[in-house]
Amino acid sequence: MLNYILRRLLLAVPLTLAVVTLLFVLVELAPGNAADKFFTPETPPEVRELIEKKWGLDRPAHERYFLMMKNIMLSADFGRSMVQEKPVTEIIAETLPNTVVLSLVTLLVVFVVGVLLGTIQAVRKYGLTDNVITAVSLFFYSMPEFWLALMLMLVFALKLKWLPASGMYDVVLYEYLTPLARIQDRLMHLVLPGLALGIAHSAGTARYMRSSLLEVVGQDYIRTARAKGVSERRVVFRHAMRNALIPVITLMGLSLPVMFSGSVIVESIFAWPGMGRLIITAIHTQDVPLLAACFFFFAVLVVLGNLLADVMYAVVDPRIRFS
């Protein structure tokens, strides 16, 4: 097992470096560079040259590439953001917690709602409940996040005024709140973005859960359990659920990188300063060091997520052994 994990991690090294390389090539191929902002009729051309020099953009692409790779590989130094002129690790450290908090809420919504709905559907398969839930979850699954997020905001923030519309906290009141009220304020601000992200994903999870549970319910040991008189509730929750959750756990493992990368759309609409917004801004400004660090980080997460899914697989399912 340990051997297997080590081998997988070792294989990840060239993969992550390849991701960073690909990113570099793509940004190089795109028109312009990070100094474009300084390219306006009233900014003299020498400013652009000075900025390019300051940010190292005056060197040929291959030189910049090898320098970047050398720093990453030898000293894990991702350098400074060109646009913000700050170490990229500092920027990511500021932003990542915001995304992680939101992702945890999302994951909670996805897991609880998804598993619950999927189970109900499997138990009531082909019945009215199943069909209605299928239709509703397909509706939400195919809804653009953008639309869903705005509708949530319109209904719950503007019309009903139950929840705050955007931001991570109330910008007006926050500094006057007691510590407890602050926590409550932050939680309230998590609800709408968490729902917007969670609803669509839980619709997908519900589909997985439903089919997985249906498959398990058809197995011999379930029939045996029923034959020996175990209650239906116990059959579903003790015997069937355990095995039916295996693919869902894989799904969770695979969604690890998604959790950390954030959502550009939902973060933008709810004014949530997370990784999604950071990356989209970095892409627009062609901030290579910041992008390289983000993508490196995500590549690592993809590898870890996959590995985690595999390991969890082995943990929850004793039939599976890696060698």
Rounded to a whole number of angstroms, the minimum distance from the CB of residue 284 to another protein is 7
Sole binder of another protein in the list 59, 70, 86, 234 (CB under 8 A): 86
Assess 80 for contact with another protein (CB under 8 A): yes
Burial class (CB in 10 A: 0-12, 13-18, 19+), 227: exposed
Residue type, 125: K
Assess 93 for contact with another protein (CB under 8 A): no
Residue type, 293: A
Burial class (CB in 10 A: 0-12, 13-18, 19+), 147: exposed
Assess 277 for contact with another protein (CB under 8 A): yes
Assess 44 for contact with another protein (CB under 8 A): yes
Sole binder of another protein in the list 17, 50, 69, 249 (CB under 8 A): 50
Sole binder of another protein in the list 41, 60, 179, 229 (CB under 8 A): 41
Compare residues 50 and 249 and give the one whose CB is closer to another protein.
Answer: 50
What secondary structure does DSSP assign to 231-266, as a single string?
-HHHIIIIIIHHHHHHHHHHHHHHTHHHHHH--HHH
Phi, psi of 87 (to 5 degrees): -60, 135
* Residue 251 and residue 205 in contact, taking contact as beta carbons nearer than 8 Å: yes
| 168 to 102, 164, 171, 262, 321: CA distances (angstroms) | 10, 9, 9, 15, 44
Sole binder of another protein in the list 75, 175, 229, 321 (CB under 8 A): 175
Residue 108 and residue 112: Cα distance in Å, rounded?
Answer: 6
Assess 133 for contact with another protein (CB under 8 A): no
| 204 to 65, 201, 254, 312: CA distances (angstroms) | 40, 5, 13, 20
Sole binder of another protein in the list 2, 3, 42, 233 (CB under 8 A): 42
Assess 59 for contact with another protein (CB under 8 A): no
Of 66, 86, 95, 89, nearest to 76 (Cα)? 89
Compare residues 179 and 229 and give the one whose CB is closer to another protein.
Answer: 179
Rounded to a whole number of angstroms, the minimum distance from the CB of residue 19 to another protein is 23
Contact stretch for another protein (CB under 8 A) within 39-47, 202-210, 214-222, 290-298: 39-47
Residue 107 and residue 177: Cα distance in Å, rounded?
Answer: 28
Compare residues 94 and 232 and give the one whose CB is closer to another protein.
Answer: 94
Compare residues 208 and 272 and give the one whose CB is closer to another protein.
Answer: 272
Residue 72 and residue 17: Cα distance in Å, rounded?
Answer: 9
Counting residues that bind another protein (by CB under 8 A) gives 49
Rounded to a whole number of angstroms, the minimum distance from the CB of residue 289 to another protein is 13
Assess 308 for contact with another protein (CB under 8 A): no
Assess 166 for contact with another protein (CB under 8 A): yes
Assess 11 for contact with another protein (CB under 8 A): no
Rounded to a whole number of angstroms, the minimum distance from the CB of residue 81 to another protein is 8
Phi, psi of 285 (to 5 degrees): -95, 0
Assess 153 for contact with another protein (CB under 8 A): yes
Assess 89 for contact with another protein (CB under 8 A): no
* Residue 101 and residue 197 in contact, taking contact as beta carbons nearer than 8 Å: no
Binding residues for another protein (CB under 8 A): 30-32, 36-38, 40-44, 46-47, 50-51, 53-54, 80-81, 83-86, 94-95, 150, 153-154, 157-158, 161, 164-169, 171-173, 175-176, 268-271, 273, 277, 284
